[in-house]
Amino acid sequence: MNSPQHILEHVFGYTHFRDPQEAVINTLMASDDALVLMPTGGGKSLCYQIPALARPGCGVVISPLIALMQDQVEALQEAGIRAAYLNSSISYDEAQAIENQLLYGELDLLYLAPERLLQPRTLALLQRVELSLFAIDEAHCVSQWGHDFRADYLQLSCLHEQFPRVPRIALTATADKRTRAEIALRLDLESARHFVSSFDRPNIQYRIEPKDNQRRQLLQFLKNGQEGQAGVVYCLSRAKVESTAEWLSQQGYTALPYHAGLPAETRAEHQRRFLREEGVIVVATIAFGMGIDKPDVRFVVHLDLPKSVEAYYQETGRAGRDGETSIALLLYGLEDVVKLGQMVESSEGSEEHKRHERTRLNAMLGLCEMTSCRRQALLHYFAETLEQPCGNCDICLEPPATWDGSEAAIKLISCVYRTGQRFGASHVIDVLRGSDNEKVRKFNHDKLTTHGIGKDFSGSEWKAVVRQLIVRGYLEVEGEFQGLKLTENCRPLLRGEEKLQLRKLPKKAPRAQTRNTA
Ligand code: ADP
Ligand code: ZN
């Protein structure tokens, strides 16, 4: 058997291990279990591929992504490794041939989808052969709180019971403390060695802007240094994915849609073109990306607010895996917060689950509305400390101006109170700005003393005030209609005992532009 170092050099063609690859590999070489948390692009694959080659027997890799298995296996075969995959796309005869290879000890690595692995027939087959290890990729799929939850993953704890002597390694790029604990618990990895790498991705520049005219903002961003580069544009809905891809194509970009509602062949084709051609932009829902191995993705744009910081971090993490300068741009608006809030309220989960989702959404909104370094906040969220502001996020590069928003806040809070603490932001803003639309008249809100006291601000300016009051805990959003409510925190502000510094909308915000050019 060859040593891990020998395999690193002669099979994979690299000279040095990255931190903590070597320590992880040594753990498996000693037949111990490992739980590995490494950001996307950190080099997780070698952590199991090398010990699978260095140990006797075949390594079994469990991955939820059938579409990616083929690419990975092809790349391994190219490097002279005896790798194969079994999934539903393979014919009976092909599967038979692979099973024979396995039985004759002619395989180094076998990739399986969890549902395939868990079939009694597959488990029985694996019992008959020597196994070097089990690698459980995308291990966060075991977490019921995350958006990648797969019920099959829960049953993977049976591996420990049925194959007690085969070491296991679970890997993921997503992991706040809670998810990490859940992975360890559900996969029976509490006594495994845990390897937690820094989540900092210094080559990614984080930029978060209020949404104004999102297409114009996107176009401006692309024209400003991203021409001919590969990137991903995330949207919340399938319809928006399609319209955005079409619109980008009309603007002369190679833009391909990707979402779970497209035929499998179309998705595979678009993914393939993204990987192999230059300068392709994929416009996608979150269905796209888990495990995508493309090193030179130069930008990730979110046209809608992700529903948690974890999701944001994971999706932006697909940029710049090669370590080169990359940009993550997020455009967000109050409408996003309302829409996501409604999705949480109308979801099937328990009250506890909803509360948890609300907290996660608020943390995401908090990241958007902050006035200090975003990377520091992001890392803090993953329980890491960055001593100095990063110098490479929009806030560090262009510190936002602030203004004394106390009076505006009081107007808003009063209006929420007068309208009965049950209307959503857009109605409250209509009342403040003195609208006499049907809804305002229907509720007699045109008779309120707060009607029209906020005419001096535009709708977007008021929305910015609302967002910041939510983030800072003065207002809460509640219920199916996402009605605004006051919290206890409002008292000192209303009594004039507290001043409130708010963030100004960025200068290039559309309002100013449309006014000037109108
Ligand atoms: P992850 O699964 O953590 O997102 P990968 O395993 O796909 O990351 O690795 C990301 C990139 O880094 C790949 O292109 C891989 O070949 C490269 N890589 C991994 N380990 C090393 C190493 N020790 N030296 C050089 N390149 C490496
Ligand atoms: Zn910063």
Q: For a substitution probing ligand 1, which of 46, 78, 297, 314 has the most ligand atoms within 8 Å of its CB?
A: 46
Query: CA 161 to CA 76: how far, in whole Å?
Result: 30
- Ligand with minimal distance to 371 CA: 2
Across 500-514, b (16+ Cβ under 10 Å) vs e yields bebbebeeebbbeee
Residue 170: name the closest of 181, 178, 198 by CA: 181
Three-state DSSP at 106 gives coil
68 lines ligand 1 (CB under 6 A): no
Ligand 2 centroid to Cα of residue 374, in Å, is 5
pTM score above 0.90: no
Q: Which atom of ligand 1 is nearest to the CA of 295?
A: 14
pLDDT at res. 507 = 61
pLDDT at res. 291 = 57
pLDDT at res. 19 = 83
Print the SS3 string covering 13-57. Answer: CCCCCCCCHHHHHHHHHCCCCEEEECCCCCCHHHHHHHHHHHCCC
Q: For residue 20, is the peptide bond before it cis, meaning its omega torsion is within 30 degrees of 0?
A: yes
71 lines ligand 1 (CB under 6 A): no
Q: Who contacts 229 (Cβ-Cβ below 8 Å, separation ≥6)?
A: 279, 298, 299
Q: How confident is the prediction along the chain (518 residues), in pLDDT tens digits per residue?
A: 689 999 999 999 988 898 899 999 999 999 999 999 987 778 899 999 999 999 999 999 999 887 778 888 999 999 999 999 998 888 999 999 999 999 999 999 999 999 999 999 999 999 999 999 999 999 999 988 777 889 999 999 999 999 999 999 999 987 677 888 899 999 999 999 999 888 889 999 999 999 989 999 999 999 999 999 999 999 999 999 999 999 999 999 999 999 989 999 999 999 999 999 999 999 999 888 765 778 899 999 999 999 899 889 989 989 998 889 999 999 999 889 888 888 888 888 888 888 888 888 889 999 999 889 999 999 888 777 888 999 999 999 999 999 999 999 999 999 999 999 999 999 999 999 999 999 999 999 999 999 999 999 999 999 999 999 998 889 988 888 889 999 999 999 999 999 999 988 876 544 433 333 33
| Look-up of token digits 């046209």 | 303
pLDDT at res. 397 = 96
18 lines ligand 1 (CB under 6 A): yes
Query: CA 419 to CA 440: how far, in whole Å?
Result: 10
Structure tokens at 270: 């678009």
pLDDT at res. 290 = 63
Q: Which atom of ligand 1 is nearest to the CA of 293?
A: 7
Q: CA–CA distance from 287 to each of 234, 281, 396 (Å)?
A: 10, 15, 32
169 lines ligand 1 (CB under 6 A): no
pLDDT at res. 512 = 37
Q: What is the pLDDT of residues 101-150, one digit of tens each?
A: 999 999 999 999 999 999 999 999 999 999 999 999 999 999 887 778 89
Q: What is the pLDDT of residues 236-294, one digit of tens each?
A: 999 999 999 999 999 999 999 999 899 999 999 999 999 999 999 999 998 887 657 78
Dihedral angle over CA of 443, 447, 450, 454, nearest 10 = 90
491 lines ligand 1 (CB under 6 A): no
Three-state DSSP at 337 gives helix
Three-state DSSP at 490 gives helix
Query: CA 15 to CA 34: how far, in whole Å?
Result: 24
| Look-up of token digits 């329980």 | 383
Residue nearest to atom 25 of ligand 1 (CA): 14
Helices (H), 383-437: 394-397, 406-418, 425-432
Q: Which atom of ligand 1 is nearest to the CA of 47?
A: 6
317 lines ligand 1 (CB under 6 A): no
Query: CA 487 to CA 13: how far, in whole Å?
Result: 60
Residue nearest to atom 18 of ligand 1 (CA): 43
Residue nearest to atom 14 of ligand 1 (CA): 295
pLDDT at res. 287 = 83
